[in-house]
Structure 1
Amino acid sequence: MTTATATTMSPAQTQTPMLPRGPMLKRSPFHERLAALNLANAWEAWQGYTTASLFYDAEDEYFAIRTGASLYDVSPMLKYRIAGPEAEAVVDRLVSKRIDKLKPGRVTYAPWCDARGRVIEEGTIFRLSPTEFRINCAEHQLAWFSETAHGFDAQVEEVTEEIAGLALQGPTSKQVLADIGLAEAAALPFFGIGTFKGAGGYPVTVSRTGFTGDLGYELWVAPEHALPLWDALMARSDLHYLRPIGSRALDVARIEAGHILINVEFVGARHAIRPSQTRTPSGLGLDWAVDLAKPHFNGRRALIAEREAGGPKRRLVGLDVTGRKPATGAYLYHRGREVGQVTSATWSPITKRNIALATVEARYATEGTVLDAEIYYMKEVTQGKVDAAATIVPPRFYQPGHRRG
């Protein structure tokens, strides 16, 4: 869950300066191992933590995701526990999906909105028991969750520092888990979750989730078990082409999968400076994650009004762009009129396509519509410009069959 937008993987990407570590930056429970492997010495800040943007080569890290297995430290991801007799009612009021249908041992994904129907954020929701949930997200949400829980018999607390997390993603990730004594966890169904004991004897909570659009899992342990877990996994690195990855490689995979990112595809409703920066779920392509038949949830009336008015004014789309220059930040035109802007862009190594996510005016968001992209890029010490055709396509560029297998 990174905040960087991918462009392309080139030698220049290896020249990232080391992020200065001030007294306020924390280190994750895995940092000791990450630092020893970070040959590029490339770091960035993520929610107050020092995290790797690159280890050695972004292209090699990317292909570990797509052809082997990868490890990405997700410990800085914000985690909230909602528990109590009325925890289900709190989460159901908070998000746009029916939570009463979510059984213990299952995961769902949903956005949550303000009263105007504008997305505050989105994330994964773990149902750990009938009366306990955990929500994982990118931004601080304790105040909003607590406000939503007011008057209910439930407690909300942030548990970020209590849980260390690793994203194990890629086609061989199932074999990696089996090799460290977690074969039962490897057999979890898509969006399943459970707690298991591997060869190390300590509990590991495993969820069949991830941010790459590939077969993958997320592993959650107490901080004191972080390094033993890392060592057990990396002991299988040569056998299964398992590699640590940074945010650059992850972001390419994210864009290929069509996953949205806060502060990139949209700005959260509680932090936006201008209303035009915000989006409704429909504007982000999340209609499938909204159940307007629910009697109550934050933003429901506004979303019903939007639907009755014909839908959002702007929509998220995928773009197939000609040429090889990533269209990062490109403005989009239709017959000379500006109609949208690219939010994320990258060259996709696995599909051999120049792809992008963009927000465009709804009337131009039809699949097959061709727009003109005005792409700017650095050309030695000057800025170059190229115009390219950008065809609107579904915003899912890579969906391997083994992802849900």
Structure 2
Amino acid sequence: MNAMTSPLNATDGRRAARSHIHTPRLETPFHPRLAALSETSDWYSWAGYKAPHTLFDEELEYFAIRSTSALFDISPMVKYRIAGPDAERYLNRLTLRDVRKLGINRVHYTAWCDDHGHVLDDGTLFRLGENTFRLCCQERHLPWLLDSAFGFSVDIHEETEEIAGLALQGPTSCSTLLAAGFSGVERLKPFDIASVPHETGTVTISRTGFTGDLGYEIFVPRALALSLWDRLWQAGQPHGIRAIGYAALNTARIEAGFIVANTDFITAEGALRADRVRMPDEVGLDWLVDADKPSFNGRKAILEARRNQTLKHILVGLEIEGNIPAEHALVYHGKKREAGLVTAAIWSPTAKRNIAIATLDRPYGVKFTDDLWVEIYALRELRYQKMMKRARIVPRPFVKLARRTTTPPGSF
């Protein structure tokens, strides 16, 4: 047997042949600090980046959000810089809300659809100047954004790798920023933006977040990321600052009633089946649609669906009896007819309620709102125990905190 046909070399050859599909996860600019703090080595992939699911304890990380302040790395969030003379007109054509109403140094939550009115993604739009915007979202859309820019004088550039981001959330988040020397942040109202100096550059601070709590999001050039982390970390020690992973953030966002693309709904580009796509009204985003705008992607289809009452789904909040989370449980009407699916569920530590977000097939959730049940399978000593628990539709958010909108925030 020669070297060319030995079993060892054949195995190496097979490995080499498929090595092109092994893409290592990228590390965010804050990864050195997160890795040093990690006690669990519990990492997951977020948009190709290595991100913490937990760092030390999911429950304690959650209570950092609600009791002190929590630092979460949002660098993998996809970020586009959109600028040029037609930037406002372009974004107004692209998204559901009226961008003309968005002032400079303000943010608004929005979504965008394809021509059939199906949601492509949701996210936040930052107006950094008269003709300069930053669009932050879950999925990558650069080819679609570029195609949509035909006929507009606008420049679109993905800056995900260039701009690092942190979410600082919780009742002591403002106190931490003030202690770090970022004076004036106490005057920021919800969805306000401020640009403040940091070392040789500038950081952008917005009063936004994904927790339903007092909080801020901070964007900084990649080269200044670690010095920003260290500045916040040192200033936050007297205020109980903790680094957190996604598990804790997810609990807080469910309490706040916020939805996640490709978790609570499938994006139009991600759907493999035609019946999985959703219109804004079917995922609780009907309030984003500015029907007075003359033209935007999907406008005709969305308004026709409303007029003809052809909407097929509805997203609702549920309160479920008992204390076992109903994650991915089927929803039934009268214990017999399948009515929908739970997309996210937790036992809420703050509300002390068993809560869930669910997508229902109309007319359930619209005409039939009573006699709803969820089918839960609880693992008990290597056996699943089937439970049928009563559920009722309740408004979101499940947890509403006054400090989220109070200006200036209280000193905690």
TM-score range for the pair, normalised by the shorter chain length = over 0.9
Match of 2:393 in 1: 392
SS, match of residue 190 in structure 1: coil
Q: Distance in 1 between matches of 2:30 and 2:233?
A: 12
Per-residue deviation, 1:177: 0.6
Per-residue deviation, 1:201: 5.6
Q: 2:177–2:235: 8 Å Cα contact kept in structure 1?
A: no
Q: Which amino acid aligns with 2:72?
A: Y
Q: Distance in 1 between matches of 2:370 and 2:134?
A: 41
Aligned pairs for 1:205-284 (under 5 A) are 205-284=204-283
Q: Distance in 2 between matches of 1:83 and 1:370?
A: 51
Per-residue deviation, 1:156: 0.9
Match of 2:63 in 1: 63
Q: Which amino acid aligns with 2:70?
A: S
Runs of at least 5 residues in structure 2 that lack an aligned partner in the other structure: 1-21, 407-412
Runs of at least 5 residues in structure 1 that lack an aligned partner in the other structure: 1-21
Aligned pairs for 1:346-357 (under 5 A) are 346-357=346-357
Q: 1:319–1:392: 8 Å Cα contact kept in structure 2?
A: yes
Per-residue deviation, 1:24: 2.3
Q: Judge which range, 244-253 or 310-319, deviates more.
A: 310-319
Q: Distance in 2 between matches of 1:39 and 1:147?
A: 45
Two-structure CA RMSD over aligned residues (Å): 1.3
Q: 1:43–1:54: 8 Å Cα contact kept in structure 2?
A: yes
Match of 1:4 in 2: none
Match of 1:301 in 2: 300
Per-residue deviation, 1:234: 1.1
Q: Distance in 2 between matches of 1:360 and 1:87?
A: 37
TM-score, with structure 1 as normaliser: 0.92
Q: Distance in 2 between matches of 1:348 and 1:384?
A: 22
SS, match of residue 225 in structure 1: helix
Match of 1:169 in 2: 169
Q: 1:368–1:393: 8 Å Cα contact kept in structure 2?
A: no
Match of 1:140 in 2: 140
Q: 1:185–1:196: 8 Å Cα contact kept in structure 2?
A: no
Cα distance change of structure 1 residues 376 and 355 upon mapping to structure 2, 3 Å threshold = same
Match of 1:402 in 2: 403
Q: After superposition, what is the alpha-carbon deviation per residue over 1:125-171, rounded to whole angstroms, capped at 9, x for unaligned?
A: 00111111110001011011111111110011101011000000011
* Aligned residue-pair number: 383
Q: After superposition, what is the alpha-carbon deviation per residue over 1:335-393, rounded to whole angstroms, capped at 9, x for unaligned?
A: 21001110000010001000000011232215963411001132232322211011111
Q: Which amino acid aligns with 1:220?
A: F
Match of 2:5 in 1: none
Q: Distance in 2 between matches of 1:386 and 1:273?
A: 31
Residue 380 (1) aligns with residue 344 (2):
no
Q: Which amino acid aligns with 2:323?
A: R
Match of 2:183 in 1: 183
Per-residue deviation, 1:83: 0.6
Q: 1:176–1:233: 8 Å Cα contact kept in structure 2?
A: yes
Match of 1:78 in 2: 78
Per-residue deviation, 1:309: 1.4
Q: 1:95–1:111: 8 Å Cα contact kept in structure 2?
A: yes
Q: Distance in 1 between matches of 2:62 and 2:399?
A: 14
Match of 1:312 in 2: 311
Q: Which amino acid aligns with 1:47?
A: A
Match of 2:151 in 1: 151
Q: Distance in 2 between matches of 1:247 and 1:228?
A: 23
Q: Which amino acid aligns with 1:355?
A: I
Q: 1:86–1:152: 8 Å Cα contact kept in structure 2?
A: yes
Per-residue deviation, 1:23: 5.0
SS, match of residue 318 in structure 1: strand
Q: 2:179–2:236: 8 Å Cα contact kept in structure 1?
A: no
Per-residue deviation, 1:81: 0.9
Q: Which amino acid aligns with 1:268?
A: T
**Runs of 4 or more above 6 Å deviation:** none
Q: Distance in 2 between matches of 1:368 and 1:173?
A: 39
Q: 2:328–2:341: 8 Å Cα contact kept in structure 1?
A: yes
SS, match of residue 148 in structure 2: helix
- Computing the radius of gyration from Cα coordinates, the structure with the larger value is 2
Per-residue deviation, 1:314: 1.0
